[in-house]
Amino acid sequence: MSKLLAAVSFAAACLIAVVSAHAATTEDRVKALESQVESLKKELAAAKSSGSIPADRLAEIERQIGLLSQELEKTRIGEASVEQPPTSQYGLGPAASKVYKKAQGVSVGGYGEAIYQNFEARGDDALPSGESDRADLQRLVLYFGYKWNDRWLLNSEIEYEHATTGEGDEEKGEVSVEFANLEYHLRTEAIFRAGLVLIPVGLINEMHEPTVFLGARRPDVEQRILPSTWREMGAGVFGDAGPVSYRAYVVNGLNAAGFESGDIRESRQGGSNALAEDLAVTGRADWNAAPGLTLGASFFTGKSGQGLTDTAGATIDAKTMIYEGHATWQWRGVDARALYARTHIEDVARINDALGFAGADSIGERQAGWYAQAGFDVLTLCSDTEQSLIPFVRYEAFDTQQGVPSGFVRDGANDVQVKTIGLSWKPITHVVVKADYQDFDNRAGSGVDQWNVLLGFIF
């Protein structure tokens, strides 16, 4: 029996060394260790049933099983701690999708962007631009998720903007909850979500991590026509059905008191004591038409008055309709996308009256914009590498006052074209350095061009 114990000890030691040093993959090591532990447990059970082996010798076999079990646990933990390639799920960015990859428990992710912007001293009209060059830790974002089981999970995003939140002259930034959702996963085709939800419009609002789009700055169309980043309180359902993914929510409406001539960004309520006198419906569908090719559309519609009244005391409905269509193509180094968006707002003359807007300050009854962008990863031509180097071009055109009520006039500064040419370099998939030049033109002739350099990362 002493020879048996010696053989068992020697075999266990050899197995640990051999598996650790020579197994082809972590999965192989786990399987090999599991097999050996199971084999030793069977031998131990047989020895105990025979009743002829001394207790100290049984203890030695148990000790060897313990050693192998510890090695097995270490191997499993090591496998779980290996950083996996970032991938997106359910329309969210790679870092925001971390919780979906967890079997159970806490997930932590995030992203950050630091940008330098250099503005021309004079605008297209040869007048001083009034702009100062800026360097800014634009945002640092943390994702916290928790998965209770295969059905229930929490996902959230907390954003720190401009490096600080201070008082008086130091008041520069803010801390905001970008989204906070409880989800119930009934099945892949039907997942329920409630909380502070990202409005599923456009290409940037849900997928705004710096590694997933080209350009140091987010496209202006998706900030001025579609007010990204945009979130509201609500609930709904989303999922994947074959090649089609969809999202549909009921949310609180916009607040017309925040409408302006230049955009509707200030009408977003962001879950902060949001007025919910008026509700809205928003939805999206995307079709994976071919490998790398996605075609989709989205909308947002509902009243935005939230109790606003005109000078006669009558309630203003301010029905607001936003819709867009988009396409993306990522294939063999090609990275291309296009988007068209349009907004229609009712009762604008009455809103102008209630808010005291006159002349060229009118809110746009109709707002529209589009952009097209194309880039190519030149390193796909060279070798098999994790790095990417993508030169790209983008053209945008938008007008936040495409239509105004009778008695008001359009401001040419809101009819804008932007030409962007730049370069995006990823030394690894989690880190990006971007540099580009933007030529701004508008109908008033007052555009100010700029250079941008951005360092971004996800984790």
Judge whether residue 19 has pLDDT over 50.
no
Other CB atoms within 10 A of residue 243 CB: 11
Element at 145 (helix H, strand E): strand 134-147
User: Using CA of residue 184, residue 175, residue 265, residue 341, what is the dihedral sign?
Assistant: negative
Amino acid identity of residue 42, one-letter, is: K
Q: DSSP labels for 288-315?
A: EEETTEEEEEEEEEEE--TT-B-TTSPB
User: Using CA of residue 24, residue 29, residue 35, residue 36, what is the dihedral sign?
Assistant: positive
The whole-angstrom separation of Cα 148 and Cα 146 is 6
The whole-angstrom separation of Cα 125 and Cα 320 is 35
The whole-angstrom separation of Cα 458 and Cα 274 is 30
Mean pLDDT, range 390-394, rounded to an integer: 98
- Within 275-411, strands assigned E span 279-290, 293-303, 319-331, 334-345, 366-376, 388-403
Q: Residues 70-83: pLDDT tens digits? A: 666 666 655 444 55
The whole-angstrom separation of Cα 284 and Cα 245 is 8
Q: Residues 172-195: pLDDT tens digits? A: 789 999 999 999 999 999 999 999
Share of the chain above pLDDT 90, in %: 77
> 0.85 exceeded by the pTM?
no
Other CB atoms within 10 A of residue 73 CB: 11
Q: What is the pLDDT of residue 50?
A: 72
CATH topology for 95-458 is Porin (2.40.160)
Other CB atoms within 10 A of residue 27 CB: 11
Query: Sorting pLDDT into bands at 50, 70 and 90, what band is 170?
Result: low
Least confident of 119-128, 265-274, 375-384, 389-398: 375-384
Chain position carrying tokens 């191997």: 75
